[in-house]
Structure 1
């Protein structure tokens, strides 16, 4: 198998994994207490590992939780906001939006409706799904490579939902 086909296979496998995460990581309901608890879980994970990240949980036009850990920069806040807008617009993880575009051979940046000054199709933002309702908010991490941002959010969601 040539390297392009291997890369496409890896991207397809990653897309499948994220689609399974979307089906798995759903809340029975989502409250302000949930946003605080999930945000604190991310702070603990990030602080314990010395990660230079910004963490944001938002819905519509309301910030529910936001913090920058040591080493995070103002750019991380801008990236978090752009990734969260992508997850909210497409109602799926920002990483998945970018991976699907990559697999199709047409980067999101080539889509005339995808304004890169507003949106970012990079990993790190995950819609908060309520079972039977759909997405009600987003949780976003920015500061690491995109796959690591995504994986940290998924780890925190699993921990919160399993608690």
Structure 2
């Protein structure tokens, strides 16, 4: 489990932006959707700041339930300022059942698929989330989109 935690922590250190605007959210969301669509994945994609949706899209084949999962995964990121996969890995490594700890209600889903949008000098400003695949694949999809977004900035 520690290798997974190390990998997830490194992703969060690597994927830091210099700025993040509403237009950037549209570009990032479109990149993530494009990757999913090309692969034939049925997913919902969402980028939000606390209290403000910036991007929301779906590829063919998802159900409304995916957007419920998106809301719950994003809530973890915006509260904990870590990817939902990292929160899950840390709790699992500690032998803690998220449902049993009592401080995370039904509006949170501690499972992979949401990733913090971190801006250098400002911290976490938004969450990018995918749902429709396995939690690992959802996480990897968002990370791939963020990597592509950063590469386009260099």
Q: Same fold (TM over 0.5)?
A: yes
- Offset of 1:43 from its aligned partner? 1.2
| Aligned counterpart, 1:119 | 108
How far the C-alpha of 1:145 sits from its partner, in A, is: 0.5
Is 1:75 equivalent to 2:89 in the alignment?
A: no
Matched residue count: 152
> Aligned equivalents of 1:147 and 1:124: distance in 2?
7
Greater Cα radius of gyration, structure 1 or 2? 1
Structure 1 residues not aligned, in runs of 5+: 1-10
Within 5 A, what are the aligned runs for 1:59-74? 59-74=49-64
8 A contact 1:57–1:63 mirrored in 2: yes
Q: Give a deviation string over 1:107-163, Cα, whole Å, max 9, x none.
A: 111111111x20001000001000111000000000010011001111110000111
Aligned partner of 2:139 in structure 1 is 150
Distance 2:98 2:86 in 1: 11
**1:160 aligned to which of 137, 149, 153:** 149
Q: If the length of structure 2 is used for normalisation, what is the TM-score?
A: 0.97
Is the 8 Å Cα contact of residues 128 and 139 (structure 1) preserved in structure 2? Answer: yes
SS in 2 for 1:136: strand
Please list every run of at least 4 consecutive aligned residues from structure 1 whose deviation after the TM superposition is greater than 4 angstroms.
Answer: none
Paired residues of 1:27 and 1:128 also in contact (CA < 8 A): yes
TM-score of the aligned structures, taking structure 1 as reference length: 0.92
Choose the corresponding residue for 2:125, options 125, 136, 142: 136
CA RMSD of aligned residues (A): 0.6
> 1:18 and 1:75 mapped to 2: Cα distance?
26
2:83 pairs with 1:93? yes
1:20 aligns with 2:10: yes
Gaps of 5+ in 2: none
SS at match of 2:91: helix
| Structure 1 contact 98–107 (Cα < 8 Å) conserved | no
Name the SS for the 1:47 alignment partner: helix
